[in-house]
Every structure is written in C-alpha cells, then in structure tokens.
Homo-oligomer: A and B are copies of this chain.
Amino acid sequence: MKPTIYDVAREAGVSIATVSKVINGTGRISDATRKRVLEVMKKLDYQPSVVASALTGKSTYTIGLLIPDLANPFFAEIARSVEDRCHEHGFNLVICSTDNNPEKEAQYISLLKQKRVDGIIVATGINDEALLKNLVKQKIPLALIARDMPALAVDTVLVDDFLGGYLATNHLTGLGHKRIAIIVENLNLMSSKERIRGYRYALEEAKLPYDEDLVLVSDFTVEGGKHCAKQVLQREQPPTAIFACNDLLAIGVMQAAYELGLRIPQDLSVVGFDNTILATIVDPQLTTVAQPIQDMGRQVVDLLIQEIKGEKTVRQRVVLLPELVVRGSAK
C-alpha cells in the first residue's frame, strides 16, 4: 500500500499532526524532528494525498480549461501556454474540448465541479451564458481567455479585436485595395463583431464604402473558408483582397484561390488572424494579426490563481494589443 501520514508518523516516532506541520511548514517544529520526519518521508517515498487534503477544505490544485477543440492549432497553442503557467504555479490542467456543443459544455462543467477543481478558464466560443453565470453565483473562480462576455463580471484576458480588425484592413487599404471582403467564423461572437467594427472603421478611414455583401460568415475550418471564398471570388465583382478572421479560414481562402487559378498575392491578397504555426507553413507565408498567446495564457492563469487564493479584491479585464505580422500573402 501507499504510505500514509500515519506510516510516516509511526516511523518517525511523532504524531500525525507533527508530520502534517512539517509538510505544510505550519506550526512550530524543532529542527531535529523536522529533519527526522523529512528523512522518513523520503525513505518511505511518501507522497501526501492531494485528495485527502482537498477534502479538508484545501485546494485540489487543478484548473479546468474549456476550449472548442484541442486539435485546432490556435487553441492548442492557447492550451499550451495556459498549461505552462499552471505548472509553474504547481497546478494541473484538465482539458475539455467542447466542440462548441452546449451539451458537452454542461457535462464538462458538471464533471469539473464534482472534482472540485479550484477554478475554470473558458475559451469556448458560443457558451450558454447562464452556465457561466451559475458558476459565478456558486463562487467558482472563473476567467475568460480570448473571449469576451461583457455582461459577466469575471477576469478576462483578450486581444483588442477592434484594433486587430483595423490593422488587417488598414494594411489592405494601404496597399490600394478597394474591394475587401471579410470572413468571420461566427456573428454571435463578440470578437467577430469587434473585428468587423475595426474593418469598417478602416474602410471609412480610407473613404471606402461598406458593402454588406462582402461580409461573409463561415465556421472555423479550412473547408469553411474555402467554400466561402470560392463563392465570393466567383461573383461578378470579386474582391481583390480578403481578410479572414482566423488563420484556418485564411488558408481556406488561399486554397480556393489556387483552385480558381488565382495567384496570391498577385491576384488576391489575404490577411489572417491569430498567427498560429500554420501561418508560417503555407506558401506564401500568411500576413496575419498576431495574438500574444504566451502573454494571454500567463495572465489568465495569474488572475485566476489570485482569485483562487483570495488575494484579489477587484476583477480585471486585460486587453492586449495585437500586432500585424507582414509576410507574403498580401500585396
């Protein structure tokens, strides 16, 4: 059997209270006994049970992360950065891919609650707002990453989507494009709305008309982007540039262009969003708006853990600034 605190206590000739104290560094223990206890712990290869300690009201040292799909490179990178920071704090990360499916979201949240995770980070797209409100009501520490719910008073870390949309579009108008289409993954997402707002603002600034027909809604897959792009590119008056609201869509656009015999960037300019590994792999490499994924991960985790530890008084919204990474897909 795994050794317990009793085994250690017996072997060291002390009480379990004493052992507990040296484990947690609480109370006052003489150096001699501390040393002895430590030795026994090592000798027995004793690992305190987080389960038991959690039952007495302490942390479980685990955090849940809700994302749409771990296999999506953007979210995999987000997850990795969150995981890293959790690990630095001694926490583990439970990953939950919801596929934006409300049922799965509810299931996962329920499971996480039963496990008494210390907190939950949400990066999911279309979430049942009520689910999250419930979490808040139940005082379960919650934080949002790469996603905004203005009506929810929780710590949030995201990129300035308006600025991102502006930067991308402004780059295109600066290049002289007059007909610029935008493809978003979902009109209900705050981030999509903001990116469109940025797009509009850049158009206005360039004295270009805003044409609703050039605002396309797709999903978050390469196929979706391809399908959408094919459709606009075959219109009578096709756009000369497309701003795709994530890299996956942008790649779909590139593929559509190739299939239609268009060259990039000569015949069509493309700008993406996210700056995932994919952006550097396509040819030409994708000009895209970079989200500071590392920083975002680090900051949500820090905020959440502060909240878990009760070290925080006010909640925060951290808005990081995106940057345009110019590569070869727009001209």
Contact = CB atoms under 8 A, between A and B. Distances in A.
A70 B79 CA distance: 8
A77 interface: yes
A139 to B, nearest CB: 9
A113 interface: yes
Interface residues of A, number: 50
A14 interface: no
8 interchain residue pairs of minimum CB distance: A76-B76, A71-B80, A70-B80, A50-B114, A92-B94, A51-B54, A50-B115, A47-B114
Interface stretch (A5-13, A32-40, A278-286, A304-312): A278-286
Nearest to A104: B87
A92 B117 CA distance: 11
Contacts of A83: 70, 95-97
A143 to B, nearest CB: 18
Interface in A120-145: 138
A49 B51 CA distance: 11
Nearest to A73: B73
Contact of A94 (B52, B84, B94, B104): B94
A234 B110 CA distance: 58
A73 B76 contact: yes
Contact of A77 (B71, B112, B258): B71
Contact of A97 (B48, B49, B80, B112): B80
Contacts of A94: 62, 92-95
A80 to B, nearest CB: 4
Nearest to A278: B281
Interface in A271-304: 277-278, 280-283
